[in-house]
Structure 1
Amino acid sequence: QTQHLELARDIARRFNDSFLTAREIKKLRGGIFKEPKALLVKTNARVMSLQDGTAKMSKSAENDDSRINLIDSPEVIRKKIKRCKTDSIVGLSFDDETRPECRNLLSIYEAVSGKTRSDVENEFAEMSWGAFKPILADALVDHLSPIQAEYNRLMNDREYLYGILREGRDCANHMAEETMAQVRKAMGFADVNDLYPMSASEGKERFAAATESH
């Protein structure tokens, strides 16, 4: 979330300013710790609950009908949309602040259909909820279908999936080791490998010898 990125950015900036010169920060293209930036979509960045148009849609909400899960089946999606909170007014619009559920459902349709806001407004300006809900459900099903297909493919190929996880782990460990070496150097701490250079096998032998002697 944005507040977490802001905290990480503050920590990165504080460290870089405390232990690096301006020249070093420039040479490292922003410092040892890069300041993260939020990537936010310009429209529909905040999706609201299907049961309360003033509350954020959340995976931790107790009521599963309040959200669309990425792996919900088409039948479940249609059932949730059919049950979602609406009003009795005919004609759908983004602009009426007294109808938060209307704005939310239209925004969801706009996001998954790829249509412009003006096109959505014109399409549903005189439509009832009974006619709109099946259209929204179909759009959600179509939008999530390729995501679900890829999810199922990966879940059915565990060997490939675990291979990707191991590769990511090894890459992250390598990057972390390089970063921590820079951190220790910037803070004036000697790297243990510089003080006691040895291979991994030599380290294991010394450890084994030390434990045997005790």
Structure 2
Amino acid sequence: MGRIFSGVQPSGNLTLGNYLGAIRNWVKLQNDHECIFCVVDMHAITVWQDPEALRRATREVAAGMLASGVDPKKNIIFNQSAVSGHAELGWILNCVSRLGWLNRMTQFKEKAGKHKENASVGLYVYPNLMAADILLYKGTHVPVGDDQKQHLELARDIAQKFNNDFGREVFPLPEPMIFGSATRVMSLRDGTKKMSKSDPSEYSRISMTDDADMIAKKVRKAKTDPHPVPDSVEACGDRPEAKNLMNIFAALSDQELKEVCAEYGGQSFADFKRALTDLAVSKLAPISEEMQRYMDDPAQVDAILKDGAERANAIAAPVLKEVKEVVGFLQP
């Protein structure tokens, strides 16, 4: 296995979705692979950010990674803006990527909505910068959720076009790594919508900073339906809230959904929620406590990010030098 690159935006208020969909998988990968994990603060400013809130959210994401078990000695953990190569390669790839490719990106349409004329240019070319994030380290594998698969396909297209344009195999074509059933965690209030930190209802999500009491309260209040727990995966099909809670249980207990159906099928959701509460508190409350310890010591977090940025730059600098040489830039 080659080099894994993955990142998460510092938009504040990390959720259970971030943990199950990304961070927990990073912990599993770190013992067997070379991993680079990035807090993508340059992506965050594609929409306006309060500067102090951005600094705080960057530390919070790093604290969430560390508290979850991502080891800064085994892996590189840093914030994107601390390595200028991301921006430099991003511009070069802007000149390789095609407008037609970006016009097909569904996330821009979703995020910009009806006001795309007022959206930042950064939001539009966001996928090119994501490609630069990966290719700057010659990343070969990228853990992705469903919502990022299209962007990774674009990164592969850009890498291939760069290689073809210049007749040099500079970049590998990064491969997706897709994980189990809870890669897409849904809202606790509406099982048809993704769990989101921007949802106005606090009870739509479990936050990684929630203490044991709050986790228990949110699970108890999670929306269900009047029927018993489904006894098969097929029976979950048209019951999104039931399926979401069972998927969360499956992920937290390292089981398949069918195993949860076999164990709890036919029981009341009141009983199932008690079991899910106990499981969620046992898994998540210690992370919340450790995360708070890191947040109370920002100097420690900053030192880890600084060390990570230096190590990341040591890998990125020769790659960027090679790219500039291939493109034809004069270099000192």
- The bucket for the TM-score relative to the shorter chain is 0.7 to 0.9
TM-superposition CA deviations, 1:4-35 (whole Å, max 9, x none): 222222222211221133xxx2xxxxx2x333
Deviation, structure 1 residue 119: 3.1
CA distance in 1 between counterparts of 2:202 and 2:152 reads: 28
Q: Which residue of 2 aligns with 1:182?
A: 322
Q: Decide whether the 8 Å contact of 1:48 with 1:54 is kept in 2.
A: yes
CA distance in 2 between counterparts of 1:125 and 1:169 reads: 49
The answer as to 2:204 corresponding to 1:66 is yes
Extract unaligned runs of 5+ from structure 2: 1-147
SS in 2 for 1:42: coil
CA distance in 2 between counterparts of 1:68 and 1:55 reads: 14
Q: How does 1:1-214 map to 2 (within 5 A)?
A: 1-21=148-168, 25=169, 31=170, 33-93=171-231, 94-96=233-235, 97-191=237-331, 193=332
Q: Decide whether the 8 Å contact of 2:215 with 2:280 is kept in 1.
A: yes
Give the aligned CA root-mean-square deviation in angstroms.
2.0
Relative to the length of structure 1, the TM-score reads 0.76
TM-superposition CA deviations, 1:162-198 (whole Å, max 9, x none): 111111222333333322211121122221x1xxxxx
Q: Which structure is higher in strand share?
A: 2
SS in 1 for 2:279: helix
Equivalent position amino acid for 1:50 in 2: L
CA distance in 1 between counterparts of 2:197 and 2:155 reads: 24
Deviation, structure 1 residue 44: 2.5
Q: Which has the higher contact order (CA 8 A, sep 6+)?
A: 2
Q: Decide whether the 8 Å contact of 1:53 with 1:104 is kept in 2.
A: yes
Alpha-carbon spacing, 1:179–1:91, altered in 2? closer, same or farther (3 Å): closer
Relative to the length of structure 2, the TM-score reads 0.51
Number of aligned residue pairs: 183
Q: Decide whether the 8 Å contact of 1:95 with 1:103 is kept in 2.
A: no
CA distance in 2 between counterparts of 1:185 and 1:2 reads: 30
CA distance in 1 between counterparts of 2:250 and 2:322 reads: 46
Q: Which residue of 2 aligns with 1:196?
A: none
CA distance in 1 between counterparts of 2:254 and 2:328 reads: 53
| Larger mean Cα displacement after TM superposition, 106-115 or 94-103 | 94-103
Alpha-carbon spacing, 1:173–1:83, altered in 2? closer, same or farther (3 Å): same
Equivalent position amino acid for 2:172 in 1: K
